[in-house]
Amino acid sequence: MSDSTDDCEAVSPSCPVSATIYGYTPNLGGNAFYAVVFAICALTQLYYIIRFWRLWKVFSIMTFLGCAGECCGYIGRLFLHKNPWNGAALPIQLVLLMVAPSFLAAALYTTLRTLVQYFGPEHTRLPARFWTWPFVTADLIGFFLQCGGGVMAATAEKNPSLGSIGNTIMIFGVSFQAVVMALAGVLTVDFTLRIGRRHGARVFVDLPKDLKTFLLAMMAAFILILARCIYRIPEMAGGVGGPLMRKEADFMIFDGLMILLAVVLQSAVHPGLFAGAMQDCTTNLYGSKAPLVGYERSESHELGQA
């Protein structure tokens, strides 16, 4: 930005909207709709936290944090609609909308170990104990990188050099998150193929209807979040205020809509409602003993054995 806009606090002839980082006034209707839907999903997750505390509390808490972050981020964009030069709303919404999907991805990772236990750890190349926390930890590393980079990048108007460093850190953080998700996806596909080769494709057809719905919903949510991460890489590569960042329609579709659909799936098809086959059984799909069923139950069991 030029020096003449350094002290801008509201739109005026000397402080046009085109000189802001986004270069546009955020759409009122679209951003309000997103904020409301994310708020409803956050409240839904609060209910799930209480109802499924014993078995699925981590999934519910992570999804709640993601929903709340997205909701607050879009509220920040509503403030920018009122005043595109709002110096407080800009960094808040920039950081929140950048990092909130990390919690949604972490929620999906918490279901992986339970799935491995249910279908049988003998089908995986990765020990069952490594199917959750390594991915959650890596996801949180990406979260902190994006959060720290976002805070620095938000200063781009006042301190271009610091903003550039922050933007680079954000690019690395979201790229790291995308790589971790891709790795989890590859391992999951390999796990699925090994089950199919050993037992035939019929094993998936014969799954309980609720469990099939859950698996398809979580797979769709995973792809949506990964697609959003991939979109963010070239967007951030253009720099804060770069060409892609100044296209609201692209952002509302490839970031907002992707995450909105993922959140709706994670709220409507909650594992507590649709994964009863995994959380209630004492044996896995093939009849062998699987005492560690359910993510939170697995952790409790191991602590008790320590």
Name all contacts of 265-269 with Cβ < 8 Å and 24+ positions apart: 265/217, 265/218, 265/220, 265/221, 265/224, 266/41, 266/63, 266/104, 266/107, 266/108, 266/217, 266/218, 266/221, 267/41, 267/44, 267/45, 267/48, 267/63, 267/67, 268/217, 269/213, 269/214, 269/217, 269/218
Protein fold of 18-270: Rhopdopsin 7-helix transmembrane proteins (1.20.1070)
Confidence of residue 221 (pLDDT cuts 50, 70, 90): very high
What pLDDT does residue 292 have?
38
Q: pLDDT band for position 284 (50/70/90)?
A: low
Q: What is the CA radius of gyration of the chain?
A: 21
Handedness of CA 10, 14, 18, 20 (dihedral sign): negative
Distance CA 240, CA 22 (A): 8
Cβ(136)–Cβ(59) below 8 Å: no
pTM for the predicted model, two decimal places: 0.88
Q: Please give the mean pLDDT across all residues of the chain.
A: 87
Predicted confidence (pLDDT) at residue 270 exceeds the cutoff of 70: yes
CA 238 to chain centre: 22
